[in-house]
Chains A and B, each alone.
Chain A
């Protein structure tokens, strides 16, 4: 499991603490690195601030949504995940080769990655980076009862003329 592998790169002292320090109450909005939780609480947007990201990208507008099933296919394999997508339109066709150029380092980020299993995980991730997010709830299919026998159902007597 990759996550476990990632955990392994943490200092061993933290690993030892994991069962103690990472208890649910503190995990919901904050991330606790040590015993002194008050000092090490991560504020909203703090990750973004300390990561050296240019200021103009700190308060990006993002959309958190769960992509709908593509209408041309029936499988639901790609649905059910939550995505963060950046409102990024700084793109243009490069006159040299006709390729797409962009002025936005995040323009493709939301395409390839930033998938989450839950909306809450996506919200928390966006908050950590200080992104201003809007949430769009997915639409659901409504199952209606139907039967093969309906094809051969008696449609009733003929309607009276007039």
Chain B
């Protein structure tokens, strides 16, 4: 995957038709190989392939049912909408199913939701494929998403991702052998001021203990520490990881707005 990105970068730099063609050929020829070799359907986008292919853990024979506790939640969610507009609840239901199912949506979980809201399954697939927060293939117990948008990238998110992948020994969207971690990419999560940042979606404790925490102001060393803390079952402090920073304030205390602000210059009405 990195090779592809590199290739694309190269092509842009050169801007020459010849290298373009070479690049295009490689991108095209890489893709089927990936599909065949790993059975993982990914492309250079952060989203997985928009197709379902049966795998041993994701096929129409793998059953999915909401637990009775979650069924209560389903009813609560649906109570927000008119009876003939139940499909409005697709997104919260998908979220619930994803949390229950260990971080990803199997084909049958989507079918189940379609059945509950009374629409054709394709209408649920459309929603699930649209949002990158819905994973349609297995992820780790701790799904780590690295922000790849411009401010984070300028502040070193590529290095953060490379460190993560190297540390965990996986490719992007691949799950570690112990099933604990997977690394994905997300687009801007609104933390640009504390870039670079990652999100860790924690599916270790089901729906009740689900958390979705930001880790900001990361360095390659710190991100490894965060991961290791999770591996030990700890809950590392989320938010900014900069030792001298409070939330999104400036590091080392305020550098501006230190005194009483000057009042706006007003006309001296009395002098008139």
Contact = CB atoms under 8 A, between A and B. Distances in A.
A54 interface: no
A155 B84 CA distance: 8
9 contacts: A155-B84, A155-B85, A156-B84, A157-B82, A157-B84, A158-B82, A158-B83, A158-B84, A159-B84
Interface string B76-94: 0000001111000000000
A158 B83 CA distance: 6
A159 B82 CA distance: 11
A81 B84 CA distance: 49
Contacts of B83: 158
B85 to A, nearest CB: 8
Contacts of B84: 155-159
A159 to B, nearest CB: 7
Interface of A is mostly: loop
A98 B169 CA distance: 65
Interface string A107-127: 000000000000000000000
Contacts of A156: 84
5 pairs of A and B residues whose beta carbons are closest in the complex: A158-B83, A158-B84, A158-B82, A155-B84, A157-B82
Interface string A140-153: 00000000000000
Contacts of A157: 82, 84
Interface in A84-143: none
Nearest to A155: B84
Nearest to A159: B84
Interface string B196-229: 0000000000000000000000000000000000
A131 B84 CA distance: 63
Interface string B84-111: 1100000000000000000000000000
A157 B83 CA distance: 8
A39 B83 CA distance: 84
Given A157-B82, A158-B84, A159-B84, 6 more contacts: A155-B84, A155-B85, A156-B84, A157-B84, A158-B82, A158-B83
A159 B84 CA distance: 8
Contacts of A158: 82-84
Contacts of B85: 155
A157 B84 CA distance: 7
A161 B189 CA distance: 44
Nearest to A157: B82
A17 B82 CA distance: 81
B81 to A, nearest CB: 10
B58 to A, nearest CB: 33
A76 to B, nearest CB: 33
B123 to A, nearest CB: 14
